[in-house]
Amino acid sequence: MADAAPPSKSRDLDKLLLRPGNLVGPTFDPGVQLRDDLQEYARVLVVGAGGLGCELLKDLALSGFKNLEVIDMDRIEVTNLNRQFLFRLEDVGKPKAEVAAKRVMERVSGVNIVPHFCRIEDKDIEFYNDFNIIALGLDSIEARSYINAVACSFLEYDSDDNPREETMKPMVDGGTEGFKGHARVIVPGVTPCFECTIWLFPPQVKFPLCTLAETPRNAAHCIEYAHLIKWDEVHSGQAFDPDNPDHMKWVYDEAVKRAELFGIPGVTYSLTQGVVKNIIPAIASTNAIISAACTLETLKIASGCSKTLSNYLTYNGVEGLHTKVTEFVKDKDCLVCGPGVLIELDTTVTLKKFIDMLEEDPKVLMTKASITYHGKNLYMQAPPVLEEMTRSNLELPLYDLMDKIPKDVLHATGTINKDDKKSSGLRKLRVVFKGIDGVADMDMAGGA
């Protein structure tokens, strides 16, 4: 029987955490201790402090999570205020993460939120390992891929290539687009990771330049003409900055002229921002619904109070309301959440040679790679002070730098070239040294 508990401000939460049930997880142990442990020990990182991120911070704080951190690189703009409810007019220009953390702590007593105003790539990989769960409120495929790769890099496999449960870093991912949204649970090694189902995200629409230059048919064509063609003609050598209001105003004015010339209506300043920045219209109610689903899944993972989502929920509120859950299957050959890319080396290969090999390996295709081994920086491309400190390792054999261990896992962070597109990424590499006693020869092209 559940422990007797004093009255709590979280009355509804107590109904989940203090009582047994028929749909609970196998490790669920209801009682006051569970509620107290959740508040004291569970650490959750919220990635993104925009429309969805604001909702996530608020919901998590009200759901018993007292140790939260949030990371976001953006500053508050006037256009954010219609849906990112934690921000006020006087906050425009301030970092989103810092203001969001401050506002939630003002309204929810006892919660501690640490903000990080920086790029997600600026944090060391071990920073992400300090959290029990990572909740994503992002609007970028590239950012999702990066965090997914980081979380999957902590996953370890046993000798039979079975994932070790204690190394799994759960993620809860949410996304919204107008009246549509999704929430998903990612448990590396068990459920599909983001990369396993990358095909769910359609490629961005790109307009043919000939259409933009000769036969524009809608307002977006006029805006992209001013952005991609006219800007370079007039401002030769000056890069366009989408965050510069003067640059954006210039594109808007040129787009209006173009639209008037071809009799095309609909060019507005807000549409210009949306097209140039690839901004997807956001609706506050959709953010609230998806955040609620993500927060509930985070609570399930942390407490075991119910079985988690299996594993992808979609919401559509365009006409009425439609929601469904689809169980996608993990890709056993995934290069990100699998055991890692196998690379076979001679013991004489230097770290510099190894980094050069990563550019040519068809399963890696990584340039400007930084290499870490069990949290130790073997070579860092940046910042300059770390590059100088680790530069001397480049001429040393990788075998020696890995303490002469015949086979182990490295992590490489750098620029991945895939489908003529460059993005920041992380890869887990299974390095096996040839000719060492107890290590059988392996096929270089062998599995990931």
- The answer to whether residue 78 scores a pLDDT higher than 90 is no
- The answer to whether residue 346 scores a pLDDT higher than 60 is yes
At residue 132 the predicted structure's pLDDT band, cuts being 50, 70 and 90, is: very high
Give the per-residue pLDDT at 447.
Answer: 39
Q: Give the integer Cα–Cα distance in Å for 361 and 367.
A: 11
- At 396-441, the pLDDT tens digits run 999 999 988 888 888 888 888 877 777 777 888 888 888 776 554 4
Give the per-residue pLDDT at 7.
Answer: 56
Q: Which of 41-45, 125-129, 231-235, 239-243 has the highest mean pLDDT?
A: 41-45
- Domains annotated for the chain, with CATH where assigned, are 27-200+280-324 (3.40.50.720), 207-275 (1.10.10.520), 339-431 (3.10.290.20)
User: Percent of the chain, pLDDT > 70?
Assistant: 93
Give the per-residue pLDDT at 430.
Answer: 86
Active site residues: 210
Write down the mean pLDDT value for the chain: 86
- The answer to whether residue 113 scores a pLDDT higher than 90 is yes
Mean pLDDT value of segment 112-119: 94
- At 14-42, the pLDDT tens digits run 888 888 888 888 888 888 888 888 888 99
What is the 3-state secondary structure of the chain?
CCCCCCCCCCHHHHHHHCCCCCCCCCCCCCCHHHHHHHHHHCEEEEECCCHHHHHHHHHHHHCCCCEEEEEECCECCHHHCCCCCCCCHHHCCCEHHHHHHHHHHHHCCCCEEEEEECCHHHCCHHHHHCCCEEEECCCCHHHHHHHHHHHHHCCCECCCCCECHHHCCCEEEEEEEECEEEEEEECCCCCCCCHHHHHHCCCCCCCCHHHHHHCCCCHHHHHHHHHHHHHHHHCCCCCCCCCCHHHHHHHHHHHHHHHHHHCCCCCCHHHHHHHHCCCCCECHHHHHHHHHHHHHHHHHHHHCCCCCCCCEEEEECCCCCEEEEECCCCCCCCCCCCCCEEEEECCCCEHHHHHHHHHHCCCCCEEEEEEEECCEEEECCCCHHHHHHHHHHHHCEHHHHCCCCCEEEEEEEEEEEECCEEEEEEEEEEEEECCCCCCCCCCCCCCC
The set of residues, in sequence order, having a beta carbon less than 8 Å from that of 156 and lying 6+ positions away, is 163, 164, 167, 409
Give the per-residue pLDDT at 445.
Answer: 34
> In terms of pLDDT, which residue wins out, 114 or 204?
114
Mean pLDDT value of segment 323-332: 90
Instruction: Please answer whether residues 143 and 47 qualify as being in contact, where contact means their C-beta atoms are separated by less than 8 angstroms.
Output: yes
- The answer to whether residue 66 scores a pLDDT higher than 60 is yes
State pTM to two decimals: 0.73
